[in-house]
Amino acid sequence: MTAPRRSLDDLLLYRLSRLVGVAGGMVIRLCEGRFGITRREWRLIAVLASRGELGSSQLAEHAQLDRARTSKAVGSLVEKQLVSRVARAGDRRQVLLGLTESGQALYGELFPLVTKINAELMEALGEEDATRLDESLRRLQAQAERMVQKAVLPKADRGRHGAGGISPPSSRSP
């Protein structure tokens, strides 16, 4: 007897992705349509607003983005005059990134709108369920971080094996 086939809807990560896709879509529309920034740029602005000035690597780490994407988004935010780059005293190769007055103003206007979307979404849960969800998400985040630290996974191929970028099964490592 074979096990019943499970669907994508049984997978936590898929369900969370769908939730972010739907509810996050409203945030993306606000960011792009009203404020002229991408969701990635919004994430960097929000991190800088909450953490203060950071180096590029620190910003990438806190935003959970790779350095290349962070660098590209920072360049765009500097061009839009929302983020400033200031050389660190004593080492001009190191720069600190911070919000400009325009960046702070954008954050001050957009954050309450994002907070309102979040609050409206959370209305689906009572206070007790919201508290339980918060604790569960904290535990899931900690577990995911532990899993990443001990995982041995292959790097993404990014299409180096031709059009499909998929290696034949015999050449994949277990």
Count of residues in the chain = 174
pLDDT computed for residue 92 by the predictor:
66
Do 131 and 138 contact (CB within 8 A), yes or no? no
pTM: 0.77
| Backbone torsion region of residue 127, taken as left when φ is above 0, otherwise alpha when ψ lies between -120 and 50, otherwise beta | alpha
Residue type, 12: L
pLDDT computed for residue 87 by the predictor:
81
What is the residue-level pLDDT of the chain in tens, covering all 174 positions? 666 778 888 899 999 999 999 999 999 999 999 999 999 999 999 999 999 999 999 999 999 999 999 999 999 999 999 999 988 777 667 889 999 999 999 999 999 999 999 999 999 999 999 999 999 999 999 999 999 899 888 877 766 555 555 545 544 444
